[in-house]
Amino acid sequence: MGREIKLALVYRDMWQSSGKYMPRVDQLVRVAEPIVEMGCFARVETNGGGFEQINLLFGENPNHSVRQWTQAFNDAGIQTQMLERGLNALRMSPVPADVRKMMFKLKKIQGTDIARSFDGLNNPVNLENSFKFAKEGGMIAQGALSITHSPVHTVEYYVNLADKYIELGAQEIAIKDMAGIGRPVSIGKMVKGIRERHPDIIIQYHGHSTPGFSVASSLEAARNGADIIDVGMEPLSWGTGHADLLTIHEMLRDAGFSVPDINQKAYMHVRSLTQEFIDDFLGYYINPRNRYMNSLLIGPGLPGGMMGSLMADLENNVKSVNKWLKKRDKDPITQEELLLKLFDEVKHAWPKLGYPPLVTPFSQYVKNVSLMNAIQLIKGKERWSMIDENTWGMILGRSGQLPGELGQEILDLAKAQDREFFTGVPQDLYPDQLDEFRQKMKEKGWELGPDEEELFEYAMHPAQYEDYKSGKAKERFLEDLEKRKAAKKGTSAAPTAGPAPAAAMPQTMTIDVNGEQFKVKVSYDQESTESDAPKEETTKPTAGSGDLKEVTAPLEGKFYLTKESNERGVQVGDKIKEGDTIAYIESMKVINAVAADKSGTIVEIVAKHGADIEEDDVILLVK
């Protein structure tokens, strides 16, 4: 037999690339033993980026999940691996160094052997701590090259990058082809180049199947010296996921490589259980389009892991755009039309944003800006009018140096908005926080947990952890799930019981002041009527017949006057000019700065801080 090739099942990524959620811990524990019995896997990806946040979102403790889920693999001697995002660790935003260091030690205790660390910009400076902390915590430090295809991302670029990672402490190298757009021959050349320089390093290939290259890329990687190939399996292989185990297995065996036999009975058991989990609730969060391969993605190069949530997001985007079009008696667009406009805009915007590798979180940033550009163009407006704050952080160097040059229009926009570029070490921008969160937990009376794992969870995902502890997360998840089930059945979810409707009473009045008319809101004391009039505003204020002008929301989401609690938001009486940042809207997992499209003096702040807001809702009235 030929050289041995090992196989790794990316069970975590199979789910993330398909939809929004992972299975519950009881489901993961059930499927673990049959995966072991399949007898063909040297490694299983069990947790990492996205996994813990997802657990919290449906009201489950991720620490308990990791400990129980990894146990069967630990007992069987199968290595477990996690995905971590370097400076961002397990989330979408930068993480303090003390929290990052704690993560590796804790995950090893919980049963995870290998840390696959990648940086969204392939920035070695951001990964130096990952390699160091992983080894100090007892884990194997694997450095992942985020593969993309552009004039600056050449074979030589990646081979040299592997040199830097190994020099900084990486013990293994992963070829992370997150969008599956690495051309097969180029993938082979990368592996060969790394193997020639580092004969003893373990090289693992990870490729998504989305545009159709991954089977050929897996073969090229194996022929040129890769040791391990990542695979998915039915019913979650192909599409935005990964090449199927059975296909890769037979292909490698036919090519003369030695691969372990598959216990077919156990395979069918795992397949059946995975389908059972889909039928239980996970299928409600999997867009059918994600089960298909799409060669159109060769152009924009968007990754499979992001496509899982993108299609769900587009549903809301299309509704919002069509609402805007309907108000103006324009024809609606379909989800497919918006998707194609997005793909075209990614190809236009990506080079101007400095060619960041299209991997989490930068793939989301490029996608979000491109989607905003596409929507603004539909509305007859200009590009770049909606760049979220996360993307500005990337542009300004707060996550490290971009691979390519920024477009002149981006540089001009940064100058016009008085934004400063950062050239230092990104980690220095984020001071240690564990003591701060330890004190917060003490004040709340919360237990730190075994090995202080609850402290870690709170520091890593503050907002999600608070919602998990309060029960809000589970409540929201169950409510959303019921809506989806009802929608599939063609029925309506049962309405929530509430107070009887108030008697019809005026909510607004138009008042004449020295010849000028102003539209004002009216509220009522509880004693003013037997049926209490609602205090919460339900009507959208308008500028009336005076010279007041409305500044409206450019998109829907959660409205905030400031990003941080210690910042000063705009106030009544402030003078603003067109282009000034007046507020923020959290949408599509990022914070979007809202720029004023009118100049004047603020007369009223209509939108409420922390409340949901719809596109075209009034934020401010100015005069």
Tokens found for residue 346: 């990614």
Is residue 478 in a domain? Answer: no
Residue 77 phi/psi, 5-degree rounding, is 80, 15
- The listed range with the strongest mean pLDDT (260-264, 345-349, 576-580, 581-585) is 260-264
Q: Write a three-state SS string for 57-117.
A: HCCCCHHHHHHHHHHHHHHHCCEEEEEECHHHCCCCCCCCHHHHHHHHHHHHHHCCCEEEE
Domain with 269 in it: what CATH number? 3.20.20.70
SS3 state of residue 252 = helix
Give the model's pLDDT for residue 555: 80
CB 88 within 8 A of CB 118: no
With bands split at pLDDT 50, 70 and 90, how would you rate the model's confidence at 305? low
Same domain, 554 and 408: no
* CA angle 362–395–345, rounded 5-degree value: 60
pLDDT tops 70 at residue 453: yes
Same domain, 14 and 75: yes
Same domain, 261 and 303: no
Is residue 507 in a domain? Answer: no
Give the model's pLDDT for residue 482: 95
Is residue 482 in a domain? Answer: no
Give the model's pLDDT for residue 319: 86
Give the model's pLDDT for residue 512: 45
pLDDT tops 70 at residue 528: no
Q: Which of 173, 258, 257 is nearest to 220 (CA)?
A: 257
Give the model's pLDDT for residue 511: 47
Q: Domain boundary residue among 429, 462, 495?
A: 429
pLDDT tops 50 at residue 337: yes
**Spatial distance between the Cα atoms of 192 and 333, rounded to a whole number of angstroms:** 47
Name every residue whose Cβ is closer than 8 Å to that of residue 414 and which is 6 or more positions away in sequence.
392, 395, 396, 421
Same domain, 124 and 86: yes
Give the model's pLDDT for residue 156: 98
Same domain, 241 and 346: no
- Tokens 């998990």 label which residue? 468
In percent, the amount of the chain with pLDDT more than 70 equals 89
Q: Which residue range is the domain that position 548 belongs to?
A: 539-622
Q: Domain boundary residue among 371, 402, 429?
A: 429
| Inter-axis angle of helices 97-110 and 62-76, nearest 10 | 50
Same domain, 153 and 15: yes
Give the model's pLDDT for residue 308: 56
CB 115 within 8 A of CB 107: yes
Burial of 522 (0-12, 13-18, 19+ CB in 10 A): exposed
Name every residue whose Cβ is closer than 8 Å to that of residue 507 and which is 6 or more positions away in sequence.
521, 522, 537, 538, 539
Is residue 419 in a domain? Answer: yes
Number of domains in the chain: 3
Amino acid at 419: R
Q: Identify which has the larger pLDDT, 458 or 580.
A: 458
CB 99 within 8 A of CB 433: yes
Domain with 603 in it: what CATH number? 2.40.50.100
Q: Domain boundary residue among 429, 455, 484?
A: 429
pTM: 0.81
Mean pLDDT confidence for 260-266: 98
pLDDT tops 60 at residue 542: no
Is residue 59 in a domain? Answer: yes
Mean pLDDT confidence for 393-414: 94
Is residue 472 in a domain? Answer: no
Same domain, 286 and 307: no
- First-to-last alpha carbon distance for the chain, in angstroms, is 81
Is residue 308 in a domain? Answer: yes
Give the model's pLDDT for residue 386: 82
Is residue 473 in a domain? Answer: no
pLDDT, one tens digit per residue, over 39-57 is 999 999 999 988 989 999 9
Same domain, 117 and 173: yes
Same domain, 20 and 158: yes
Same domain, 152 and 11: yes
With bands split at pLDDT 50, 70 and 90, how would you rate the model's confidence at 309? low
Same domain, 68 and 95: yes
Same domain, 257 and 206: yes
